[in-house]
Structures are given as structure tokens and as C-alpha cells.
């Protein structure tokens, strides 16, 4: 059980600490370290409460049910339609972002090895190679993710230690709270781990105490990592200027450019090597978690198995749309994460709150999120505020 607990925590951490983490310093540079840190805490609180609501609603139903069944049983046909649309848009957008970032990093690594490939080739290689792991199910993803996560956390510590001596404290005190709304959607996406909760419920069956522990520990680790990551990157590099962090948000290959900026600023080739390895693993662990959730969602919604022709169809529906999206819209990494943030608010905050309010009147409750009916109401009000700040000119 301890092994499963650790593996599940690492699945949450791996799903969270992905492309969103790499984008955070670039997205937060305009607002500054202190305002963005406050925003991080608030987004963590909201998304963790949303994850707990998803767990509560999922426990109304038998194991093996995903967001499709949850919405249908609590909100009826309107909820089912909204869930289908928002879930597919969210996960296809996230997968497109991670495939875009992952193939970008893979192409850069191959270039260092003097192997030059076209964009479509690196995209196809990344998608097919790691899609095969997802096709094997949660057990295979769990074990692959454990190995990758230990490597990722080790490299993360090394990078923080390497970059920390180059931090300039004056960069930390630069502040522009008015710019926070522009980064909120990427911050929300960085805590989008709740999509994996139904899979973890199946993994733990009826062990509710372990599930709650996994969610809390698994969500706190990314929060701590984000604080340190923002602090060293935003402290070491200028926010403004031709080569500043803000300018990287308009770059076609932002992760590669960020690695180059760090290596050039610190005159340390090891940083470039470690950063490329770190970004590769970040993209991969996030890709594994998101793809696993999408495949489970489609399996539940379309009543398809992973075997034979149905399995091939399921894999095609999972990986082909985001693959084509990356091919025809290259360099859409940061914009994809921003759009994903809006969908995260709808799918992982608004819908769970509505499902909980409706489901509590209809089903026996094995678990109720602390705060009673005020928690979903708080999430609905906060979500409306997030969408308003995001969409205003």
C-alpha cells in the first residue's frame, strides 16, 4: 500500500509539474515574484478544493466511472453535453501543449547529437513512443512515472542549486500586481491534476483516507516547487528587455529559448544540459498523466475497451487530434496553456461544484468536502471572478 501511495502522489505531482511549470516564470515575470506567489497560493487552494469535490462526486458512483458518468448522474443531459465539450477541449489542448513542448525539446536534444529531423518527425516520434506507455494502462504509467519523477525531482534540485547563486534580490522586489490577471490561467493549469482523481479512485478502490492524503500531499509538493522555481528563474533573469522573460512569451520555442538564456547568462553549459533533461521529463510526465485521463474518459464515455479494434480506435481518438493540432499550429505552447486554464475553470471548478450541490440531494455521501454547501458556492463565485478577470480587455 505504501508503494501505491507514493506512486499515486507522484502521479499527481507529475501531472501538475509539467508544461505549466516551465511556463510559470515567463508568465509571472510581468507581475513580479511577490504578487504571483500570492496568486499561486490562491489558485492552489481553489484547485485542491475542486479536486476534493471531484472525489466526493465520484464516490457517489461505483468504481470505473469518469466525469461523463458523474455529470450525467448529477446534472442530467445539459451537464453531460458541457462535460463532453469542455473535457475534450481541455485534454486535447493540454496534450497539444505537451506534445508541442515535448517534441520541441526532443528536437533540441537530437540536434545536440547532430541528428536533424523535421518538426513532424519529432512530433510523431514523441507521440508514438510515449503513447504506447499510456496504452498499457495506469499500472504501466505509474511505474514509468515513478522512475521519471525521481529523475525529475533530482534534476530540479540540481538546477535550483546551480541557478541560486546568480539570483539578484532586486529582481524579486519588482512588482506589478495589475499584471496578475494575465497569468492566472497558466497558474490554474499548473494545478490541473484533478483530471486524474477518478483514475486514482479506481486504483485505491474504497480506501478514502489514502485518497485524501494523496490529494493533499500531491498538491502541496508542486506548490512548494513552483515557489522555488519562480524565485530562482525570476531572480536570475531580467523580466524586461530584448532577452527578458517577458519577451520569451512571444517566442516560437519558449522552453528551448529559456534554456539558452539561462546557459548564456550563467556561462554554464551544464545548466543547459540539465534544463533540457528537466524540460523533457516535465513534458513527458504531464503527457502521461493527461493522456491516461483522456483515454479513460473516452473509454467510459464511448464504452470502448483497450483491446483489439476498439483499443486501436481508442488510441487514435486519444492521440491523433492533438498530434494534428501541433502539426498545423506549431509554436502554440503558451497560448494553448492559457486556453487550457479557462477550460480548467469550467471543468475542474464550476462543474464539480454544481455536481456536488446537485448530487448531495440525491446520493448517499461517503465523503463531504469541508465547508458543506459553502465550499461549492465559494468555488462558483471565485470561478466567475477568474473568468471575468481573464476575459476583460
The pair phi, psi for residue 205, each rounded to 5°, is 60, -110
**Cα torsion angle, 52, 54, 58, 64, sign:** negative
- pLDDT of 114 over the 80 cut: no
> Which of 20-29, 146-155, 276-285, 332-341 is predicted most confidently?
146-155
- pLDDT tier, 338 (very low <50, low <70, confident <90, very high otherwise): low
Q: What is the mean pLDDT of the chain?
A: 83
User: CB within 8 A of 93, min separation 6: which ones?
Assistant: 322, 336, 339, 340, 343
pLDDT for res 249: 65
**Cα torsion angle, 36, 164, 19, 68, sign:** negative
Return the CATH number of the domain spanning residue range 2-391: 1.20.1740.10
Under DSSP, the state recorded for 252 is S
- DSSP SS3 for 93: helix
Contact 379, 346 (CB under 8 A): no
Q: What average pLDDT score do residues 195-203 get?
A: 84
Instruction: Please write the tens of the pLDDT for every residue from 82-95.
Output: 888 888 888 888 78
- pLDDT of 1 over the 60 cut: no
* Residue 370: how many other CB atoms lie within 10 Å: 8
Between vectors from CA 83 to CA 282 and to CA 374, what angle results, nearest 5°? Answer: 90
Q: What average pLDDT score do residues 360-369 get?
A: 86
Spatial distance between the Cα atoms of 142 and 293, rounded to a whole number of angstroms:
13
Q: At what angle do helices 269-302 and 2-16 cross, to 10 degrees?
A: 110
- pLDDT tier, 245 (very low <50, low <70, confident <90, very high otherwise): confident
Q: What are the cell numbers at 332?
A: 502554440
**Cα torsion angle, 30, 36, 39, 43, sign:** positive
Q: Tell the residue number behind the cell numbers 499550429, with chain if given.
A: 329
**Which residue spans within the chain are E strands per DSSP?**
none
Spatial distance between the Cα atoms of 13 and 149, rounded to a whole number of angstroms:
8
Using CB atoms within 10 A of its CB, is residue 209 exposed (0-12), middle (13-18) or buried (19+)? exposed
Q: What average pLDDT score do residues 307-332 get?
A: 81
Contact 234, 163 (CB under 8 A): no
pLDDT for res 108: 66
Flag the least confident range among 52-61, 99-108, 166-175.
99-108
CA 373 to centroid of chain Cα atoms: 28
Percentage of residues in the chain having pLDDT higher than 70: 91
- pLDDT tier, 195 (very low <50, low <70, confident <90, very high otherwise): confident
Amino acid at each position: 500500500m505504501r508503494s501505491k501511495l507514493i506512486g499515486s502522489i507522484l502521479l499527481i505531482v507529475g501531472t501538475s509539474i509539467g508544461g505549466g511549470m516551465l511556463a510559470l516564470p515567463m508568465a509571472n515575470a510581468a507581475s513580479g515574484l511577490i504578487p504571483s506567489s500570492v496568486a499561486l497560493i490562491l489558485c492552489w487552494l481553489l484547485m485542491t478544493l475542486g479536486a476534493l469535490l471531484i472525489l466526493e462526486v465520484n464516490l457517489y458512483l461505483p468504481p470505473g466511472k469518469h466525469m461523463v458518468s458523474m455529470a450525467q448522474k448529477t446534472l442530467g443531459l445539459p451537464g453531460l453535453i458541457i462535460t463532453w465539450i469542455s473535457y475534450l477541449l481541455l485534454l486535447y489542448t493540454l496534450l497539444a501543449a505537451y506534445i508541442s513542448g515535448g517534441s520541441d525539446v526532443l528536437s533540441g536534444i537530437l540536434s545536440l547529437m547532430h541528428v536533424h529531423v523535421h518538426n513532424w518527425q519529432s512530433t510523431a516520434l514523441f507521440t508514438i513512443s510515449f503513447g504506447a506507455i499510456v496504452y498499457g494502462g495506469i499500472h504501466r504509467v505509474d511505474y514509468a512515472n515513478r522512475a521519471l519523477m525521481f529523475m525529475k525531482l533530482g534534476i530540479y534540485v540540481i538546477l535550483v542549486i546551480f541557478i541560486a547563486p546568480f539570483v539578484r534580490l532586486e529582481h524579486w522586489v519588482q512588482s506589478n500586481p495589475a499584471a496578475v490577471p494575465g497569468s492566472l490561467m497558466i497558474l490554474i493549469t499548473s494545478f490541473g491534476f484533478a483530471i486524474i482523481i477518478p483514475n486514482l479512485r479506481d486504483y485505491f478502490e474504497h480506501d478514502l483516507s489514502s485518497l485524501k492524503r494523496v490529494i493533499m500531499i500531491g498538491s502541496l509538493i508542486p506548490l512548494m516547487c513552483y515557489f522555488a522555481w519562480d524565485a530562482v528563474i525570476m531572480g536570475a533573469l531580467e523580466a524586461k528587455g530584448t532577452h527578458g522573460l517577458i519577451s520569451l512569451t512571444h517566442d516560437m520555442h519558449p522552453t528551448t529559448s529559456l534554456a539558452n538564456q539561462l546557459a548564456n547568462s550563467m556561462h554554464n553549459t551544464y545548466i543547459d544540459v540539465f534544463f533540457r533533461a528537466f524540460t523533457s521529463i516535465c513534458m513527458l510526465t504531464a503527457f502521461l498523466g493527461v493522456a491516461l485521463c483522456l483515454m479513460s474518459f473516452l473509454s467510459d464515455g464511448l464504452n470502448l475497451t483497450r483491446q483489439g479494434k476498439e483499443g486501436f480506435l481508442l488510441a487514435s481518438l486519444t492521440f491523433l487530434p492533438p498530434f494534428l493540432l501541433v502539426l498545423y499550429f506549431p509554436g502554440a505552447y503558451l497560448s494553448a496553456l492559457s486556453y487550457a486554464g479557462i477550460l480548467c475553470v469550467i471543468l475542474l471548478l464550476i462543474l464539480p461544484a454544481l455536481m456536488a450541490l446537485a448530487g448531495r440531494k440525491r446520493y448517499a455521501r461517503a465523503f463531504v468536502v469541508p465547508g458543506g454547501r459553502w465550499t461549492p458556492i465559494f468555488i462558483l463565485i471565485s470561478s466567475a471572478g477568474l473568468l471575468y478577470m481573464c476575459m476583460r480587455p
